[in-house]
Structure 1
Amino acid sequence: MRSVRKRWTICTISILLIFYKTKEIARTEEHQEAQPSGDGDSSLSRSMVNNSDKINQKSGSSVFQHSVERWKINSSLVLEIRKNILRFLDAERDISVVKSSFKPGDVIHYVLDRRRTLNISQDLHSLLPEVSPMKNRRFKMCAVVGNSGILLDSGCGKEIDSHEFVIRCNLAPVVEFAADVGTKSDFITMNPSVVQRAFGGFRNESDREKFVHRLSMLNDSVLWIPAFMVKGGEKHVEWVNALILKNKLKVRTAYPSLRLIHAVRGASPEL
């Protein structure tokens, strides 16, 4: 179980980093060339410094604050990383499979457990997007918000919400911590294991209501569920899908393509 969770965590973080880099850095070459020094730091670097300063003021960590103030974006390295990523990854296409990819009853192999298979249910198929939720979407300022607790007492909520696109991890609560983490949510990851860890495996009505309430706060956000990785989480995915359909929630679902997971693992896609 620990091994499975570790792989989930590694893959999710890797995917977020790839998605963040390819979307947030896209089309920045001219901007970077036009600002070679001094004020040439991007709005992203200023945002990171400002956010870190707020945290440091609370924690009193002068050593870390000093290092942050000297932090600069290595523009040439950023572009090199982006080009290497885009050689084998299309974030817009691979962020989610689409409805035309499968039909109900299709059998596919799990990415990390090729001996096991998954049947595409009617509920799952009905929630697949018609087109990629990221199709033709570009953003100048994105924020990736984790749920480790480092933002507690930071007062960064308003600054996070000022970004064009906000990515959050594993359906973390936001309303209770709005002053520190903000409330804007455009893209939210949700590993199937969250159902068990945060919502009691839906053992009773209270757990289900809590989950539905959490999703209802997302409105038109994209809920990103890695459904095709390993055997064991399929029942949780089906429970989530059933609740979304039953309660007619406005959240948009997305399921990462098998090609994306292969790319993150550094393996060649077999599909």
Structure 2
Amino acid sequence: MRRPTYERFVALLTMSACMCCVLTYMHVWIGNLERHLKNGDTSTGFISTLKSRTLLGEKSVIPVSEATEEKKQENQEDDFDEDDSIFNAEVKADVEDVISYPWQPNQTAAVVKRREMLSYFNLFKVLTMTSDDVTSGHLARFYSAKSKTIITVPGGMHNLLPRRQLFRKKHYKQCSLVGNSGVLLQSGCGRTIDQSDFVIRCNFATIKGYEADVGSKVDVVTFNPSILNNKYNSLSLEKDKTKFKRDLIEYGKYVLWVPVFSDHAVSSTIRTLIDFLGKNKGDLTNVQLAFPGNVLPAIEDFWYSKSIDEERISTGLLMYMISSLLCEEVHLFGFYPFPEFRGKQIPYHYDHSMNRTAENYDFGYMKVHRLPDEFAYLTKLHKEGAINLHLESCTS
């Protein structure tokens, strides 16, 4: 019996020695790492790898000491300027190519794209939930949550939903999908947009005062729940509720499309929104509330197959998919994610002030969306004739 005990003792001793070696090595490695960080040296190990990870101007942030901060910042600015100038040159060439390209509708190309999408999901079954899909008090899971985060369906939601699937058996000849890029300013595209059979707008952008450039017709407008926090102070005050109600009414008669179950981070906002809409339903008879079903995962799979890998695709890209399934001919306005157009600075959104330009806003380069990647794909569709991507003035 002693021999096995002795052998176990030797094995444990050997294991302990190995662990000591590993810990000693890690201690030395961490010490060297700290020394490199203090000296602002990013030439070794994984730090060099982090530094090299740039995409459309995106750079990893590496902590440095105050003594080297200014020098480090200068180096980063030099690198950004060089990368940015190269990228902008490529983008300018692509944009000029789109502008100069004599667009012609290609129904064959549009049908092929539509079939590709439908091979991943049947959008018509999940485009809008109906009153039969939810019951107050029941649990619903957020579609994009990495864990199976759930929420209790807010009271009153059942009464706000349509009885039947919206847009069933609907087909439109020409549709306009209106994004919010500052490229729309002074475009004079309002009349062209309003002449469409069906108009979809993104994220509750301001129309009043911009009609000449963006039009006024609305059939569907999307509403990201975060807008309630950013634009209406989470309806905390009576004046916020009054403003929100007025804006809802000013849009006219339309469908308000809200992706409520997309992300668990907006669960409290969802409850606030549904409670407000329920209490004011009598004054909002022209507003039809629509919540999409569990379509986001399948949509993300589709775009991944097109080499567009994002944490979350943009609302604009999502609505392009919907319009392409409802419409024979799709025209896109205000889809342009860059800070300059033909040598002139433009704001990120047309209803933003000019202080949100390239100097202090990333224009989608470093957010959850990869808007330049999306734009590159849209230009490809434009050249194929599957969509018409409008960038220039509609009056020229």
Matching of residue 98 in structure 1 with residue 126 in structure 2: no
Cα distance, 1:176–1:65 mapped onto 2, change above 3 Å? farther
Contact 2:129/2:291 (<8 A) preserved: yes
When residues 73 and 103 of structure 1 are mapped into structure 2, their CA distance, relative to the original with a 3 A threshold, is same
In structure 1, which of residues 74, 78, 91 is the aligned counterpart of residue 110 of structure 2? 78
1:225 alignment partner in structure 2 = 258
Q: 1:136 aligns to what SS in structure 2?
A: coil
User: Percentage identity across aligned positions?
Assistant: 29
Whole-angstrom distance in 2 between the partners of 1:167 and 1:112: 24
Q: Which deviates the most, 242-251 or 176-185? A: 242-251
Considering only CA atoms, is the larger Rg found in Structure 1 or Structure 2? 2
Amino acid at match of 1:130: R
Q: Aligned-pair distance for 1:196? A: 1.2
TM-aligned CA deviation for residue 171 of structure 1 = 0.6
Distance 1:216 1:236 in 2: 20
Alignment partners' CA distance in 1, 2:278 and 2:184: 33
TM-score, normalised relative to structure 1:
0.70
Alignment match, 1:215: 248
Amino acid at match of 1:252: Q
Q: Distance in 2 between matches of 1:65 and 1:210?
A: 43
> What's the secondary structure of 1:232's corresponding residue?
helix
**Does 1:264 find its partner at 2:299?**
yes
Q: Which residue of 2 aligns with 1:21?
A: none
* d(CA) in 2 for partners of 1:246, 1:104: 16
Q: Which amino acid aligns with 1:120?
A: V
User: What is the root-mean-square deviation in Å for CA atoms of aligned residues?
Assistant: 2.1
**Scaled by the length of structure 2, what TM-score is found?**
0.49
The residue that corresponds to 1:195 in the other structure is 228
* Matches of 2:182 and 2:124, distance apart in 1: 30
> Structure 1 residues 146 and 66 mapped into 2: Cα distance closer, same or farther (>3 Å)?
closer
In structure 2, the residue matched to 1:118 is 151
Deviations 1:141-181 (A, max 9, x none): 10000112211111111111111110000011101211111
Instruction: Please state whether the residue corresponding to 1:175 is helix, strand or coil.
Output: coil
State whether structure 2 residue 120 is matched by structure 1 residue 88: yes
Q: Name which of 214, 217, 228 aligns with 1:181.
A: 214
Contact 2:120 2:299 in 1 (8 A): no
Q: Which residue of 1 aligns with 2:3?
A: none
Answer yes or no: is 1:205 the counterpart of 2:267.
no
SS at match of 2:129: coil
The one-letter code of the counterpart of 1:211 is F
What is the number of residues matched between the two proteins?
205
Structure 2: how far apart are the matches of 1:177 and 1:132? 32
How many Å separate the matches in 1 of 2:138 and 2:246?
32
**Maintained 8 Å contact 2:254/2:288:** yes
CA distance in 2, matches of 1:100, 1:67: 47
Instruction: Flag as ranges the 4+ runs of structure 1 deviating above 4 A.
Output: none
The 2-side partners of 1:65 and 1:262 are apart by 33
Distance 1:99 1:109 in 2: 17
Cα 1:66–1:107 shift into 2, 3 Å = closer
Match for residue 253 of structure 1 among 273, 280, 289:
289
Distance 2:222 2:132 in 1: 23
Asked if structure 2 preserves the Cα contact closer than 8 Å seen for 1:133 and 1:222, the reply is: no
Say which SS state the counterpart of residue 176 (structure 1) adopts: coil
Give 1:261 shift.
Answer: 1.3
Q: How big is each residue's C-alpha offset from its partner over 1:202-243, in whole Å with a ceiling of 9 and x where there is no partner?
A: 222222111111111233300000011111212222222222
Q: Does 2:203 correspond to 1:170?
A: yes
**1:51-103, CA deviations, whole angstroms, 9 ceiling, x for partnerless residues?**
xxxxxxxxxxxx83883443344544332211111123223221111111121
Partner in structure 2 of residue 51 of structure 1: none
